[in-house]
Amino acid sequence: MSNGLADSLGRLGTETAFEVLARAKALEASGRRVIHLEIGEPDFTTPSHIVEAAVQALRNGETHYCPAPGIPALREACAEHLSRHRGLPIEASRVVVTPGAKPFLFFGVLATCNPGDEVIYPNPGFPIYESVIDFAGATPVPLPLVEDRGFAFSAEDLADRLTPKTKLVILNSPANPTGGIVERELNLEIAKLLADHDCWILTDEVYSEMLYDAAHDTIASHEGLLDRTILLDGFSKTFAMTGWRLGYAALPEPLVEPIVRLLINSVSCTAPAIQLAGVAALTGPRDEVNEMLAEFRRRREAIVTGLNELPGVSCVMPRGAFYAFPNITGTGMGAKELADRLLSKAGVAVLAGTAFGAYGDGYLRFSYANSLENIHEALAAFGGLLEQQ
């Protein structure tokens, strides 16, 4: 026995955001002030009517196991929401609910990929994609997101990577960490390419309602693709519900039973009181969500303007989510080195672009889920650090 651990664990990655958060918290514990721009979660509290729905549900005795794919009321609310928001005919029978959207990344890959299969995924992208592809023994095929295209890719780039071994194509719009989006025109081209290609698609749309001057378009709405697309959405971002752990997906019919089986083997089901809070979120008033979005828009302007004023830094205007992804190559420092210095010397926690894959080199990710005041303070501290170089 070597280290006593399964070999497969050597192929399982992680999310650097949690490590940086731990380092930032340790600094705070030693008395330092730290501005948190590393973690990808809204700083707002969950709208009160959603909290009330969960409290009420617990008081009403919703404290037991429930059906593994989700309670009918939430599956129906999700189907109705997806159908309306994406303009698609989605039946509740193909909606599955999980604790957070993340399990669909794991289970989606495990349910579809064998060792040797190729999976195309955005890079820089959410690190869990590459991690779970590797874990499944499949081959990760990065699809570079290019700054000059507003962090999109071209149809040719995708075409160049499609092979007879491609089993799954992962898309993410709006995207973490770049804030880029996949426009309808690009989806039309992708749909044409994939029409001739027998593979699954996983479209991660957890930021679908966090858009600025852009319309959401899902690959699932394009001809013939709904029946082979895992369309993923959740509550963490839109409703400031990260800690509740609630997500859902519309699955191709043949994947419903296998993914529910993976759920039964891992978590059994999603807490019913949390699911009832999800029903309240999807069917209740939107005022607080709209206020959050308006605030994110103000912060986006402030952070992008401020970053572009710093020497050696340039930042494209993100179209969605709540991340800015500035190019820092002009500072002469590498992404990891600069992120480390920002935390240790300036008290600003951010992530190196390389935390999102090799194509993130030369960039930092700033999550602007923090107050305008803190964003201005962080920009000033960043500017001060660059002046000292």
Q: What is the contact surface with ligand PLP in residues (CB under 6 A)? A: 40, 100-102, 126, 172, 176, 204, 206, 234, 236, 242, 247
Which CB, 130 or 204, lies closer to ligand PLP? Answer: 204
Collapse the DSSP code of 32 into the 3-class scheme (helix H, G, I; strand E, B; otherwise coil) and give the result: coil
Nearest to 276 by CA among 44, 42, 75, 46: 75
Q: What angle do CA 51, 60, 96 make, to 5 degrees?
A: 65
| Smallest gap from residue 64 Cβ to ligand PLP (A) | 23
Return d(Cα 348, Cα 63) in angstroms, integer: 41
Which of 259, 186, 176, 187 is CA-nearest to residue 219? Answer: 187
Q: State the minimum distance, in angstroms, from the CB of residue 125 to ligand PLP.
A: 8
Closest to ligand PLP by CB, 69 or 234: 234
Q: Can you tell me the distance from the alpha carbon of 124 to that of 94, in angstroms, rounded to the nearest whole number? A: 30
* Amino acid of residue 230: I
Compute the least distance from the CB of residue 244 to ligand PLP, in Å.
9
Check if the beta carbon of residue 316 is closer than 8 Å to that of residue 102: no
- Taking the least distance from each CB to ligand PLP, the nearer of 40 and 252 is 40
Sequence-separated (6 or more) residues with CB below 8 Å from residue 374: 35
**What is the nearest approach in angstroms of ligand PLP to the Cβ of residue 243?**
9
Distance (Å, whole) CA 32 – CA 54: 37
Distance CA 157, CA 139 (A): 17
Nearer to ligand PLP, 128 or 386 (CB): 128
Comparing CB distances to ligand PLP, the nearer of 105 and 338 is 105
Angstrom distances, CA of residue 277 to CA of 35, 91, 176, 220, 363: 31, 21, 26, 27, 37
Which contiguous run of DSSP H or E holds residue 166? strand 166-172
Q: Which one, 139 or 176, has the nearer CB to ligand PLP?
A: 176
Report, in Å, the least distance between residue 16 CB and ligand PLP. Answer: 12
**How far apart are CB 178 and ligand PLP at their closest, in Å?**
11
Q: Which residue is nearest to ligand PLP (CB)?
A: 100
Minimum CB distance to ligand PLP, residue 112 (Å):
17
Q: Which residue, 143 or 379, is less far from ligand PLP as judged by CB?
A: 143
